[in-house]
Structure formats: structure tokens, C-alpha cells
Structure 1
Amino acid sequence: MIFRFSLRGRLLLAGCLLAASLALPAHAQKYRTAAGLRLGKNNYGLTVQQKILDKTTLEGLALVGTREVSATVLAERHFGILGPSLNYYFGAGGHLGNHKDTGGFGGLDALAGVEYKIAFTSFVLSLDFKPTVEFNSNNWARFPTAFSVRYILLKEKNTGLFEGLFDGDKSKKKSKPKSGPRKGLFDF
């Protein structure tokens, strides 16, 4: 059975999915710090993401191409899709670099992507589109896509579905008074 939707139907479906994803809880990521490799068509390099606010990260990229090197810093806003393991993100930032033939260059970056935290592992996969406007370069604009694999260095606190359901309010827990040295089974 094949379903065919008109353009109006597709736009309505996309709008409903976007509204549903924005209505979900604010947990858009399952990690605080992740680092790994970024692979694009004309370059590759390192990527490091650091969560700075509830749904916001800073990402640093160190990229190497056939004739250039560059460093990029991006601020990204994450939005959950059907839970915290799958999310999409938007961001912006800037970059500086050096081309072997033309020298130093810089530019402004935008970013749109999707990422997935693989269940029961410490790996995050992402695919993004990062258009750039270039200054002091032969290319005035670039439109690269890239795939990243990151390893989670610092995990987010567990915010699972059943957290707090059976253990009560953690802020009201009473602390046990500290006692003297711990006694063993045969210490009298």
C-alpha cells in the first residue's frame, strides 16, 4: 500500500510534527560533553560539543581540507524529536582559516542538522548542513554537508521516565547523621 500526499498534505504533516516536537519536554540531549570526528566531502577534522544551557551547546570544529585548514565555533539550539535520543538543531557562528594558495580567510556560518544518541552506547551520530559566507576567499559561499561521530565524555544526569516516581522528591530527602567509625560484624 503506497500513500501519496499532496504538497498541502506534506506541509500539514511537517507542521504537525514540528509542533509536536516543540511541545515535548525540554530534554533535547543525553550528554554534556562529546568529542569525535567530522567527515565531509572536501574536509575532515575534530568536533567537540559542550552543553552550556538546557538546550544549547557550543561546538568547536578543527577542519583540514586538501589545501586549507580552519577552525569554527558554533552556538547551537537543540530540539527533541520523540524524546531525547533523537533531536534536530540549528545554529550559527564563525570561522577562521588559512588557504595554501590565497592565505588567510574568515566567514560566517549557519547550521542545521539532526543527531541520534545510539541506545546503550556512548556514541552520538549527526548529519548536518553548514552553509558559509566567506570573506577574503575565492569562494564567496560554500554549502557543505558532513557526518559526525562523537563519543560522550560527560553524560547528562538521568532524566528517565520513571525518575522520581518511586523514590519521592529528592529535595526533601533527609540526610543521615554522620556517626563514628564504622563497626564490623564482630566488633563489640
Structure 2
Amino acid sequence: MKHTKIIITTLLLLSASLIQAQTLRTGTTYETAIGVRGLGTSGLTIKHFTSSSTAIHGIIGFYPNAFSVSVLGEKYIPAFDVAGLKWYYGLGGHLATQSDWGRNEGLYRRETSAFGLGVDGIFGIEYKIDKTPIAVSLDFKPFFEIATDGNAFMALDPGLGIKVTF
């Protein structure tokens, strides 16, 4: 819960400064966006289009006892002939760290820690709201991860995102 409040406060402050610092871009396209992603991997996101149909997407994920950084290459195609609505899919990877804490003699101590390396896919839909600097998305980011403690993880990792575009 503490991380969620920090993320939301950071996003609101960043959004306010971006909106004040530039003229709002109208239309249904954008070059760069910064926002938040929730549901599965929750955290901060940044997306930058390298062409009209490809983007690099970074996600910094926060968990109660873990932290991750994901980078994805994404391809965009129009959806349903609706301006601003696009399907996207792509591939990438992530690094993660995790620490499990336990109580021993009244003190909290780190009992285990591990680093993970994973392969990620992504597919979803995004809508850039016309005449506003806002884009919303819904996606699945399935991943497979192998950790240094010998564990392996798989998940569909659904995500709901909201971003400020510029």
C-alpha cells in the first residue's frame, strides 16, 4: 500500500509538470508516454515510439518484497477502424530481485534473497483519447522467470495502464 501511494503521488506530480511545461498535443498519436500499470506487475511505465508502429516500453515493477525492471519491443496495428485505438504485441525480458523477511528473536531479518531473469511477451489494446494527453491500455504480459534460488515462475500478468502522453 505504501508503494502504491508513492507511485500515485509521483505520477501526479510528474503529470502536472509535463502538462505545464508543454502545449497539449491534440490528436490520437503520441511520441512518448509516462504512467502507471496496475493489476499484475504494478508500477511505473515509460513508452517511446521509434516509428509510427513500433515502440520501446519499460516497466518498473514494485511488490511488497520484490522489484523488477522489464523492457519490451512492441508493434502497433490499428483496431476496429477507430482513431486512437490500437492492438499491440511484442517481446522482451526482465530482471527481478526478491527478499523474504522473517522474524527471529523479535527482529526482522532477511531470510532469503534471489535474483531472477525472465522472458516476457505482451499483447493488448490501447486507446489514446483524442484532444487529451491521456492513453489507457489493457494487456497481458505473460512471462517465464528463473531465479538464483532455483525457483521458476510463470504468469499471465494482466495489466491496466494509464499514461500521460507528449
> TM-score by structure 1 length?
0.62
Task: Look up the SS of the partner of 2:50 in the other structure.
Answer: strand
Cα offset, 1:40, TM superposition: 1.6
> Once superposed, which parts of structure 1, at least 4 consecutive aligned residues long, lie more than 4 Å away?
none
Cα offset, 1:99, TM superposition: 0.8
Instruction: Please report the RMSD computed on the Cα atoms of aligned residues, expressed in angstroms.
Output: 1.4
Which of 55, 61, 78 is residue 80 of structure 1 equivalent to?
78
The aligned counterpart of 2:115 is 104
Q: Which residue identity is paired with 1:125? A: V
- Separation in structure 1 between the aligned mates of residue 30 and residue 153 of structure 2, nearest angstrom: 35
The aligned counterpart of 2:131 is 120
Cα offset, 1:139, TM superposition: 3.9
Q: Which residue identity is paired with 1:97? A: A
- Separation in structure 2 between the aligned mates of residue 52 and residue 128 of structure 1, nearest angstrom: 20
- Separation in structure 2 between the aligned mates of residue 38 and residue 111 of structure 1, nearest angstrom: 13
Cα offset, 1:120, TM superposition: 2.2
- 1:138 and 2:126 equivalent? no
> TM-score by structure 2 length?
0.70
**Structure 2 regions of 5+ residues with no counterpart?**
1-27, 101-112
- Deviation string 1:1-28 (CA, Å, 9 cap, x unpaired) is xxxxxxxxxxxxxxxxxxxxxxxxxxxx
**What number of residue pairs does the alignment pair up?**
124
Q: Which has the larger radius of gyration?
A: 1
What is the correspondence of 1:8-27 to structure 2 with a 5 Å cutoff?
A: none
- Separation in structure 2 between the aligned mates of residue 141 and residue 44 of structure 1, nearest angstrom: 16
Cα offset, 1:100, TM superposition: 0.9
Task: Look up the SS of the partner of 2:132 in the other structure.
Answer: coil
Q: Which residue identity is paired with 1:120? A: K
- Separation in structure 2 between the aligned mates of residue 83 and residue 107 of structure 1, nearest angstrom: 34
Check whether the contact 1:30–1:84 (CA below 8 A) recurs between aligned residues.
no
Q: Which residue identity is paired with 2:43? A: G
Check whether the contact 1:71–1:96 (CA below 8 A) recurs between aligned residues.
yes
- 1:150 and 2:163 equivalent? yes
Task: Look up the SS of the partner of 1:140 in the other structure.
Answer: strand
**Larger RCO: Structure 1 or Structure 2 (Cα < 8 Å, ≥ 6 residues apart)?**
2
Q: Which residue identity is paired with 1:85? A: G
Q: Which residue identity is paired with 2:30? A: Y
- 1:50 and 2:61 equivalent? no
The aligned counterpart of 2:11 is none
Cα offset, 1:83, TM superposition: 4.0
Q: Which residue identity is paired with 2:36? A: L
- Separation in structure 2 between the aligned mates of residue 53 and residue 120 of structure 1, nearest angstrom: 21
